[in-house]
Chain A
């Protein structure tokens, strides 16, 4: 089989089609939310919520068992959504009451989430092995129903994140100023937290709960090495998210390796590449737009400059390529 035929075979497999659609949507949405989280220095929020979502998965399983549902984990995703949403509101609530304890709340969630998940799955008659597919992702198990969930939530997260990007930027960049502008800061923070919670649950199937946060954060880390504005970081990170998800998933079609880990390692590889080539990139960038780090401004005080007339300021050496005045 030629390379081209293999690609055709991959794209015509319904399982792979579903997985790819999920990967594109999750890859695009997760870094958008991640940009706001990194901006607010809450990069670990996604991790905390991922752990809480595990309890939700187990809880959904438990309820499913009680109700005698046929696939026992039919309620796993709804359970994860509910638990992560409650967790996100709780984090914001604690944060709003005092900055220092936000950290502690996150730690409590980490441990409480894992312990709760392990305990509840036992009560539900499952084993820890059942949780592993949620912890590390199992995109091959994406059903059509899961796909609808994922697609709907991802599109919702993207629409809210992009539609409210100006106001969410304002709140994430300078919370005090936003409050002093009459913005509903606590409500908007909860919107970001809720978006994180939903992203965690949709990305759970693709990369797994333990690696969810990586898909939200690592593309942002790469993008901010390369571009220098908030909107460009968000756009580039989203593109990187799609690229690593699609490429990572495609690799797993040929090689029997876990998709979640592959996607995350690809993203981290990109980070390393960007970090190494950054000096080259910035040098070229500086050549594109010359700017004098010491712009010509009149001095505050009359400086006695020896041997210079009134036009002394013009004698200052400009930046390479000519200073703009």
Chain B
């Protein structure tokens, strides 16, 4: 297809000069972000640095006061091929007054800007996506009765059900047990191997460590680092690493960031 070929040259995410003001506060100022097709980019930063807000602005959830966003070659709005974009928010909303089953929540991932009605095989695809996150047995349970980690897995299934080319994840593995994290990372790796692009917010690289091509760090709503992923903490535990801690050591950096960006190139 010629159309796909011409747009394929464009990066998966292209944001220029994004400003976001929420509740009268400047949350993001002049953020530029470029994620090439097939890249896995980690978005890092302390609590409140604006990571979720950036991702929400990229998807058109948070209103921008300035800047341009293009996803998969289309300008935000009707130009984006929404059927190829998957998003896992940081948490499930507080929930409405009517119970919704995991299957219904995952099926709601199949309606988007390009179609107001789910495809015929929606139910089958939703069950397959639930199976991928190990929740097939819970398909007919109400999500409000689930544990936080189970809810998170349902949200991941809701993003995967589209079989996305661009996956945007907001701390997808927080609150999820290690075996499920590993199955999830394996799923993301498979998606990546098929040419998919991933933008993932993380506090520590953890299970994602081997997968990340590049890291972008935010501080106070600005990009302060963009480059190779910082060495994981595992290096500290490596055999060649010398553990010498004289008592005069300054206090360690805020563990919340998990990274010391300043010392990196």
Selected contact of A38 from candidates B97, B105, B158, B178, CB within 8 Å: B97
B98 close to A298 (CB less than 8 A) = no
Which of the residues A39, A164, A166, A169 comes within 8 Å of B97, measured between beta carbons?
A39
Nearest-neighbour CB distance to chain A for B260, whole angstroms, equals 27
> Is residue B59 within 8 Å, beta carbon to beta carbon, of the partner chain?
yes
Question: Which of B12-20, B38-46, B88-96, B201-209 is the interface stretch?
Answer: B88-96
**Alpha-carbon distance A2/B53, docked complex (angstroms):** 71
A183 engages B113 (CB within 8 Å): yes
Does B80 interact with chain A (Cβ within 8 Å)?
Answer: yes
Question: Would you call A181 and B104 a contact (CB within 8 A)?
Answer: no
Question: Which residues on the A side are within 8 Å of B92 (C-beta)?
Answer: 174
Shortest distance in angstroms between A274's beta carbon and chain B's nearest beta carbon? Answer: 14
> What are the interface flags for A22-49 relative to B under an 8 Å C-beta threshold, 1 for contact and 0 otherwise?
0000000000000100111101000000
Known contacts: A167-B116, A174-B108. The answer to whether A180 contacts B97 by CB under 8 A is no
Report A-chain residues with C-beta under 8 Å of the C-beta of B113.
181-184
Residues of B76-116 whose CB lies within 8 A of A: 77-78, 80, 82, 85, 87, 89, 92-93, 96-101, 103-105, 107-114, 116
Q: Does B248 contact A (CB under 8 A)?
A: no
Known: A177-B89, A181-B111. A43 touches B99 (CB 8 A): no
State the CA gap A169–B78 with chains docked (Å): 21
**For residues 198 through 250 of chain A, which have their beta carbon under 8 Å from a beta carbon of chain B?**
220, 224, 228-231, 233
Counting CB contacts under 8 A, is B177 at the interface?
A: yes
Alpha-carbon gap, A177 to B56, bound state (A): 9
What residue of chain B has the Cβ atom nearest to residue A38's Cβ? B97
How far does the Cβ of A249 sit from chain B's closest Cβ, in whole Å?
27
Determine whether the beta carbon of A172 is less than 8 Å from that of B96. yes
In the complex, which of the residues A35, A43, A169, A184 contacts B108, with contact meaning CB atoms closer than 8 Å? Answer: A169
A103 at the interface (CB under 8 A from B): no
- B177 CB to nearest A CB, Å: 5
Considering the complex, give the chain A residue whose CB is closest to the CB of B118.
Answer: A166
Q: Which of the listed residues A43, A177, A183, A324 has the most CB atoms from chain B within 10 Å of its own CB?
A: A177
Q: Number of A interface residues, CB 8 Å? A: 39
Residues of B within 8 A of A170 (CB): 108, 111
By a CB distance below 8 angstroms, the chain B residues around A179 are 59-61
Q: Taking each of B89, B97, B111, which has the highest tally of chain A beta carbons within 10 Å of its own beta carbon?
A: B97
B21 to chain A, nearest CB (A): 14
Q: Which listed residue (A41, A174, A183) contacts B112, Cβ 8 A?
A: A183
- Residue of A at shortest CB range from B143? A173
Is the beta-carbon distance between B99 and A228 smaller than 8 angstroms? yes
Residues of B within 8 A of A183 (CB): 111-113, 116
Q: Does B142 contact A (CB under 8 A)?
A: yes
Complex Cα spacing A164 to B115, Å: 11
The answer to whether B117 has its CB under 8 Å from any CB of chain A is yes
- CB A132 to nearest CB in B, in angstroms, measures 32
Q: Is the CB of B60 within 8 A of A176?
A: no
Q: Looking at the complex, which one of A174, A182, A233 makes contact with B99 (CB distance below 8 Å)?
A: A233
Q: Mark A239-265, 1 if CB is under 8 A from B, else 0.
A: 000000000000000000000000000
Contact, CB under 8 Å: B60 / A298: no
Once A166-B107, A297-B177, A297-B179 are accepted as A-B contacts, the answer to whether A229 and B117 lie under 8 Å apart by CB is no
Contact with A along B106-141 (1 / 0, CB 8 A): 011111111011100010000000000000011011
With a cutoff of 8 Å between Cβ atoms, the chain A residues found around residue B116 in the complex are: 164, 166-167, 183
A300 touches B118 (CB 8 A): no
A298 and B100 contacting across the interface, CB-CB below 8 Å: no
Residues of the A chain whose Cβ atoms lie less than 8 Å from the Cβ of B89: 174, 176-177, 180
Closest to B122 in A: A166
Q: Encode A99-116 as 1/0 by CB contact (under 8 A) with B.
A: 000000000000000000
Q: Within 8 Å of chain B (Cβ to Cβ): is A291?
A: yes
Q: Which residue of B lies closest to A165 (CB)?
A: B117
A295 at the B interface (CB under 8 A): yes
Residue of B nearest to A177 (CB): B89
Q: 19 other contacts beyond A173-B93, A177-B87, A231-B104, with CB at 8 A cut-off? A: A35-B98, A38-B97, A40-B96, A167-B111, A173-B100, A176-B89, A178-B108, A180-B59, A180-B60, A181-B109, A181-B111, A181-B112, A182-B80, A182-B82, A182-B113, A182-B114, A224-B99, A228-B101, A229-B142
Nearest 3 Cβ contacts at the A-B interface: A182-B113, A182-B82, A39-B96
Q: Which residues of A contact B (CB under 8 A)?
A: 35, 38-41, 43, 163-164, 166-167, 169-170, 172-184, 220, 224, 228-231, 233, 289, 291, 295, 297-298, 300, 324
Q: Mind listing 23 A-B residue pairs with CB under 8 Å?
A: A163-B117, A167-B116, A173-B100, A173-B108, A174-B92, A177-B89, A178-B108, A180-B87, A180-B89, A181-B111, A182-B82, A182-B112, A182-B113, A182-B114, A220-B98, A224-B98, A229-B99, A229-B100, A233-B99, A297-B179, A298-B179, A300-B179, A324-B137
